[in-house]
Amino acid sequence: MTIIDQLLIGQSSAIRKVKNLVSQVATSDLNAIISGESGVGKELVAQALHLSSHRKNRPFVKVNCAAIPSELLESELFGYEKGAFTGAERAKEGKFEIAHKGTIFLDEIGDMPLSLQSKMLQVLQDLHFSRLGGKEDVRVDCWVLAATNHDLEQDIRLGLFREDLYYRLNIIKIYIPPLRERPEDIEPLVYYFGRQLEEKIERPLFKFTGEILEVFRRCPWPGNVRELRNVVSRLMLLGDWDAVRQELLASDPAGIDGSELAGFPPLRDIEDGRRSPEQKFPSLKETKRRAVQDAERRLIASVLIETGWNRKKAAKILAVSYKALLYKIKELKLNRTD
């Protein structure tokens, strides 16, 4: 079994394609962008690339461009000399230097500020730079992998991402589809996470029945594999299937019981008492309101997930004002779940 098969679980054609790409790219040193929704396994794929490359015994350095304040990101990446700015009491090497001979993984590359994108482009072209406040040339040999859950091509159209940087990074494109598009992977993932946990906890193994797996296969899994792993852990520790089922049902706009497909209202509408038995049908006006609200909720939620909850970008994509978007988020009770 290769390291790629050990790390990346799943037999769907989508995952097999990803695994094939990983094994081909790992020997190439070509820059790659790994894309896909939150929780699909982008970081795991980056690790698989590194661990199957000739750089595997060298550092794998991750930089989360969204988590580091933009004014600090430059010094984090390229390091600084003593006195480069107030508070720089001694020199510090940047992540590029730390990753020398290894791999640098630029997570959430779509959140890199435009000003830094131009420096980044230059570094990728020349493979040398100087630390902040420094004159000396630093040369590095790093494999640059990047990840994003944004649609970078759309960001380019919106002027939020530099096209030239995109082409420089995106020599190889690895797209990981969301879990709902590869339900065949659910069962092996459930058993994989189950086995991992079994080694840690001492209690009878929770039984993932056919019914449970069937509900899982119908779930939209907005948090993808990460969400599935959390649900498996919770079930193994607490065994509260009824509660988990209710939650999965509530988070699903289409109704995972499938009844909506047969022309019935989703189960959750009946169960949460929003509709009383004598009030069998809602008014046309009410139906319209709900349909619009549901559509808005889905669209806004997808854009927020795509942009990693960057509300400014989301407002731009949705062509509404920032204020209007904040109002909608509140009205539709959208919450960040990660």
Ligand X SMILES: Nc1ncnc2c1ncn2[C@@H]1O[C@H](COP(=O)(O)OP(=O)(O)OP(=O)(O)O)[C@@H](O)[C@H]1O
* Residue closest to Mg ion, measured at CB: 43
* Contact yes or no for 301/222 (Cβ under 8 A): yes
Smallest distance, ligand X to C-beta of residue 250, A = 22
146 lines the binding site for ligand X (CB under 6 A)? no
- Nearer Cβ to Mg ion, position 43 or 198? 43
**Which listed residue (19, 55, 150, 229) binds ligand X by CB under 6 A?**
229
Closest CA to 141 of 232, 20, 55: 55
Q: Which of residues 43-72 bind ligand X (CB under 6 A)?
A: 43-44
Q: Distances from the Cα of 93 to the Cαs of 10, 44, 68, 132, 134, in angstroms?
A: 39, 26, 16, 10, 11
Smallest distance, ligand X to C-beta of residue 299, A = 20
**Which listed residue (35, 38, 52, 75) binds ligand X by CB under 6 A?**
38
Smallest distance, ligand X to C-beta of residue 286, A = 36
Distance CA 288, CA 284 (A): 6
CA angle 82–63–325, rounded 5-degree value: 115
Interaxial angle between packed helices 322-331 and 284-306, expressed in degrees from 0 to 180 and rounded to the nearest 10: 120
Contact segment (CB under 6 A) with ligand X among 36-44, 65-73, 116-124, 210-218 equals 36-44
Contact segment (CB under 6 A) with ligand X among 35-43, 71-79, 200-208, 289-297 equals 35-43
Write out the two tokens for 161: 């991402």
**Which listed residue (26, 39, 75, 314) binds ligand X by CB under 6 A?**
39
Collapse the DSSP code of 1 into the 3-class scheme (helix H, G, I; strand E, B; otherwise coil) and give the result.
coil
CA angle 256–262–267, rounded 5-degree value: 40
149 lines the binding site for ligand X (CB under 6 A)? yes
- Nearer Cβ to ligand X, position 2 or 125? 2
**Which listed residue (4, 10, 33, 129) binds ligand X by CB under 6 A?**
10
Where b means 16+ CB within 10 Å and e means fewer, 96-113 reads: bbebbebbbbbbbbbbbe
Q: Which does 218 bind (CB under 5 to 8 A by kind): Mg ion, ligand X, none?
A: none
Q: Which does 184 bind (CB under 5 to 8 A by kind): Mg ion, ligand X, none?
A: none
**Which listed residue (14, 26, 33, 40) binds ligand X by CB under 6 A?**
40
* Contact yes or no for 36/182 (Cβ under 8 A): no
127 lines the binding site for ligand X (CB under 6 A)? no
Write out the two tokens for 134: 């420094």
Smallest distance, Mg ion to C-beta of residue 42, A = 5
Smallest distance, ligand X to C-beta of residue 160, A = 18
Beta strands in 197-289 (DSSP E): none
**Which listed residue (22, 41, 208, 257) binds ligand X by CB under 6 A?**
41
Q: Is 61 left (phi over 0), alpha (psi -120 to 50) or beta?
A: beta
- Nearer Cβ to ligand X, position 40 or 248? 40
**Maximum CA pair distance of the chain?**
79
- Nearer Cβ to ligand X, position 8 or 32? 8
180 lines the binding site for ligand X (CB under 6 A)? no
- The DSSP secondary structure of 144-163, one letter per residue, reads EEEEESS-HHHHHHTTSS-H
* Contact yes or no for 327/317 (Cβ under 8 A): no
43 lines the binding site for Mg ion (CB under 5 A)? yes
* Contact yes or no for 105/61 (Cβ under 8 A): yes
- The contact set with ligand X (CB under 6 A) reads 8-10, 36, 38-44, 149, 225-226, 229
- The contact set with Mg ion (CB under 5 A) reads 43
